[in-house]
Amino acid sequence: MSGRGQANTRRRQSQGTCWLKLRSVFFDIDEVADHSFGLPHMMPTTEEFTRHMKALQLHKNDLIVCFDHIGIFSSPRAWYTLETFGCPNVKVLNGGLEAWKKANMPVAPGDLKQFPENSGSFDFVRKDSNILSMSQVNALIPKLRSKDVSHYVLDARGAERFSGKVAEPRKGLRSGCIEGSINVPFYDLLTEDSVRMKTVPELKQLFKDKGIDYSKPITASCGSGLTACIILLALRRVGATNLSLYDGSWTEYVTYFLTPRAHILNLSSNQFTFTFPIPSCPIQIMPRSMGFWGFLLYTSEAADELLCVDLGGR
């Protein structure tokens, strides 16, 4: 969800309090996404993002306050998405709707649509440096493996998921972590009731205890790119600026990089189309004229070798 301050609303100063009319709309991170990857809530294209923002009547320079109903969970993902597309005035309500209600602040059911549409810019440009791809993360592994601290990858999943002691909640995914990454469970960044984010001094101490120099580039990961944004928000609060999100996170990494895949093709002609799950991996197609009726394609766990095996002969 996000609350948007209206551009032409009336403001009233009374006993040191500033009153501002707000319009609350539902920002669906699963809808405002790129669905072409087959992965949940991937960062949308500029065109897709703009289409949703126009539908929500959220303009680039609006004051946007993101919150969710359970405290701090999905709202940082909305915040990071909006910032990635150049929205300069995005905040996260610490404590979310739960804290808002406990403070006896006014609430209303559903989207509040009584405010008229306002003029504003929809000139959004995606900052691609905010997002790291699987190949970019893979390129960091030699540094991470050697404990080179020029770039960190932080994983927001729980300690047992990170260590591979428990199964991933998504069926069929292998357990474990990106080699050389550091575990920073997102709930460690929150208060005991998981409603609010910890104070800046507490966050600074936590990162110090983890041996993280947040003046260096940091990439956050998790299961699917959601709770990683809690790490990014915490880092922003302590002054970190060189931040990025591994959008596909462990779901993409283990599905397309670590999981061996085999495909058997029965070639009926010399003309066919084949899409391989790892675009960066070269494919050598053996033509039918060489006498093969089919072949097996297999990627190693390191995804750095491709084998072509004769299945039939002449």
Name the DSSP letter for residue 57: T
Burial (Cβ within 10 Å: 0-12, 13-18, ≥19) of residue 116: exposed
**Sign of the alpha-carbon torsion through 159, 163, 168, 173:** positive
Q: What is the pLDDT of residue 171?
A: 86
Strand, coil or helix: 246: strand
Classify 264 as helix, strand or coil. strand
Give me the residues of the chain with pLDDT under 50, please: 1-20, 260-314
pLDDT at 106: 87
Q: Where are the beta strands (DSSP E) in the chain?
A: 2-5, 12-14, 17-19, 22-25, 64-66, 90-92, 131-132, 152-155, 182-183, 218-221, 243-246, 262-266, 294-299, 306-310
Q: pTM for the complete prediction?
A: 0.76
- Candidates 43, 117, 39, 140; CA nearest to 85 is 43
Q: Which residues are catalytic?
A: 222
Which of 238, 224, 73, 75 minimizes the C-alpha distance to 161? 224
Strand partners, 221: 155
Q: Are 305 and 282 in contact (CB under 8 A)?
A: no
CA-wise closest residue to 82 among 115, 110, 43: 43
Kindly calculate the radius of gyration of the chain based on its CA atoms and give it in whole angstroms: 23
pLDDT for position 29? 94
Around Cβ 219, how many Cβ atoms within 10 Å? 24
pLDDT at 112 (0 to 100): 54
Q: 20 CB contacts (<8 Å, ≥6 apart)?
A: 5, 9, 11
The Cβ-side half-sphere exposure at 107, using a 13 Å CA radius, reads 12
Which residues contact residue 65 at a Cβ distance below 8 angstroms, ignoring those fewer than 6 apart?
Answer: 2, 3, 4, 5, 22, 90, 91, 92, 93
Report yes or no: 131 and 43 within 8 Å, Cβ to Cβ.
yes
Per residue in 191-231, pLDDT (tens digit) is 998 899 999 999 999 999 999 999 999 999 999 999 999 99
Alpha-carbon dihedral 54, 55, 61, 63, rounded to 10 degrees: 180
